[in-house]
Amino acid sequence: MIGVSHTALRRWIDRKDLPVVYAEAGRMQVPVAALLELYEEMEADRATGRGHPIEPLVLAARRNAERLPDDLLADIATEAQGHRAPQVRGLAYHRVLARRLTKRMIADARQVLADWELEGRIDPTYATAWRELLAKPAPELRRALAADTPEMADLRQNSPFAGMLSEPERRAALAAAAPQIP
């Protein structure tokens, strides 16, 4: 589908540039959503005339992950325990996401939310809160996504932004949260 060898794919998986899941039979697989995202980015780059657009995309994702600030969670004073641990991981993810939020990501989140509502996969209270949040200007949305408040912690449990960071960025966000979690 994306026109790369199994060797290249394996190398990206080994470097943790692509996510993997384990199928019921125990085989590793790259999620279809990750491949589709890579394919869409590749097609957009091809339209600009680049010859081999995939490797630069993977390298760009890795560089973005390496540029994360050291103080991503500096305002989190206590070690996260119990339910707070997943909240801190979600906060780290959304703070990284807020830094690179684009109009396309917001539009995609709106579509995900609409799909969830049609399928009955999200509580109407959360759907309404997300719809209101996604209607705000981007700077305001960025601040809200990065806020360490009980309301945002609740909303982040049902985030339409899940899966929008590259695998290296997601892993870097989790690594930033790790010192806060015993």
pLDDT tens across 140-161, in order? Answer: 999 999 999 999 999 999 999 9
Residue 121 reports pLDDT greater than 60: yes
User: Cα(170)–Cα(27) distance, rounded to whole angstroms?
Assistant: 22
Q: How far apart are CA 62 and CA 57, in angstroms?
A: 9
pLDDT, one tens digit per residue, over 20-38 is 778 778 887 877 777 777 7
In sequence order, what are the residues at sequence separation of 6 or more whose Cβ sits closer than 8 angstroms to the Cβ of residue 130? 109, 113, 122, 155, 158, 160
Q: What is the mean pLDDT of the chain?
A: 82
CB 61 within 8 A of CB 17: yes
The count of other CB atoms within 10 Å of the CB of residue 71 is 8
Q: Domain boundaries in the chain?
A: 6-66, 84-180
How far apart (Å, rounded) are the C-alpha atoms in residues 18 and 170?
A: 10
Chain centroid to Cα 69, Å, comes to 17
Q: Does the pLDDT value for residue 52 go beyond 60?
A: no
Instruction: Tell me which of 24 and 162 has the higher pLDDT.
Output: 162
pLDDT per residue as tens digits for the range 70-117:
677 777 755 656 677 788 889 999 999 998 899 989 999 999 999 999
**Residue 155 pLDDT:** 95
